[in-house]
Amino acid sequence: MNLFDVYPLLDFEPVQGKGCYLFDGDGNRYLDLYGGHAVISVGHSHPYYLQSLYEQAGQLSFYSNAVKNSLQVQLAKKLGTLSGYQDYQLFLCNSGTEANENALKLASFYNHRRHLVAFDNAFHGRTAASLVVTDNATIKAALNESDHVTFLPLNEIEKVAELTEKQEICAVIIEGIQGVGGIYIPKREFLQKLVELCHQNDIMLILDEVQSGYGRSGHFFAHQLAGIQPDLITVAKGMGNGFPIGGVLIHPKFQAKHGMLGTTFGGNHLACRAAIAVLDIIKQENLIENARKSGNYLMQELMKFNGKIKEIRGMGLMIGIEFPFPYDKVRNTLFKNYKIITGSSSQKNTMRILPPLNIKKMDIDFFLESFYQVLKKV
Ligand code: PLP
């Protein structure tokens, strides 16, 4: 049997990871500034994380949601405390798209409406409802086409206000920072007015923090910089540092009913233990602060390349570098000549930097020096 060939692959097979580095079968070391799509939060093979998984696997890896699981309760408590959302409720699932599916469904259960608002350039996932609110026609099949979504330009509150006057809206979904779309940050005032508009019209506000959450932005959630509280917040990626897990943080006004949501694998023992270990490490090692400081330093230094770079966008360790030309050559040369892995985006001129949150200055400096050498030649 052959693999269904849907991924354009880098000519590279990592066989081991340690901290911010990956190693191939010949022992070559690569600096990972991509974290496998922003998934690696606390670093590859963190000893505390490994020990937690090892212990849990030896005890109980999985049982279904038909039985009590105090690891879920422990995870919810720790996530509530570290994120500042103690009074919210948690539903656990397996991935980012699934988290958004459940958040959209909860919004519709709550106000019994169906029309959704999303933003140009948005990426929320590839399954039914999350694909409806994703702004990319090339990944939608005929059955994913929908007449119950409106895409609006990011940061234009008047456009949202106009629509709310014409149409009854179920939910607005927005990324904390647009990731796949090329790193665009919703403005603080825009988010604040959006919350107001949503409250006034009984519209559910869903903050997709799948990529921008878990400390990556230098805050637990990127939207917290705006001082807002959404109705629903979705998480995944960095939550399990590579172990598949996702979740929805749900405002206390939502009333749970047995059978309303469900999953076989979501919130299993091993996944919860991985997610608990991630939160412990983030707290113990001050990784949110490290993301903020390292990101500020990296962005300041990148600004010095102003002749060769069109724009630097981002917050913390979620950074987009836009060139006045396609990024391929820079990215490929960084990989081939300097063994540095960076990320792509859906915009051909914007490269993404999404390293593990425990990256050290030494590694950032190595990247900056290599980047300087590459840019001299491009
Ligand atoms: N939401 C955002 C903001 C994402 O960046 C992604 C994935 O890149 C998703 C949702 C979908 O997550 P998953 O691939 O885990 O389904």
Strand (E) or helix (H) holding 226 = none
Q: Which atom of ligand 1 is nearest to the CA of 180?
A: 5
The CATH number of the domain holding residue 96 is 3.40.640.10
CB of 72 within 6 A of ligand 1: the answer is no
Based on the fold, state whether residues 228 and 368 are members of the same structural domain: no
Can you tell me the distance from the alpha carbon of 339 to that of 29, in angstroms, rounded to the nearest whole number?
A: 7
Q: For residues 306 and 324, what is the distance between their CA atoms, to the nearest angstrom?
A: 11
Residues of the chain whose pLDDT is less than 50?
Answer: none
Beta carbon of 101 within 6 Å of any ligand 1 atom? no
How far is Cα 103 from Cα 364, in angstroms, rounded to an integer? 36
| The total number of structural domains that make up the chain | 2
Q: Which residues contact 45 (CB under 8 A, 6 or more apart)?
A: 16, 17, 18, 19
| CA 35 to ligand 1 center in whole angstroms | 14
- Report pTM: 0.98
Q: What is the rounded radius of gyration, in angstroms, for the C-alpha atoms of the chain?
A: 21
Taking every pair of Cα atoms in the chain, the longest distance, rounded to a whole number of angstroms, is 62
How far is residue 163 from each of residues 93, 115, 150, 159, 249, measured CA to CA in Å? 32, 11, 9, 6, 27
Query: Using one digit for the tens of pLDDT, what is the confidence trace for 46-58?
Result: 999 999 999 999 9
Residues 136 and 95 in one domain: yes
- CATH number, domain of 357, equals 3.90.1150.10
Domain end point (choices 267, 284, 301): 284
Give me the pLDDT at residue 271, please: 98
Range of the domain at 290: 14-34+286-377
Can you read off the two tokens belonging to residue 148?
């119950």
The CA 79 to ligand 1 mean position distance, Å, reads 19
Beta strands across the sheet bearing 14-18: 14-18, 21-24, 29-32, 340-341
CA 180 to centroid of ligand 1, rounded, Å: 8
Residues in the chain: 378
Tokens encoding 248: 């929805």
**Are 242 and 331 members of one domain?**
no
* Number of C-beta neighbours around residue 112 at 10 A: 8
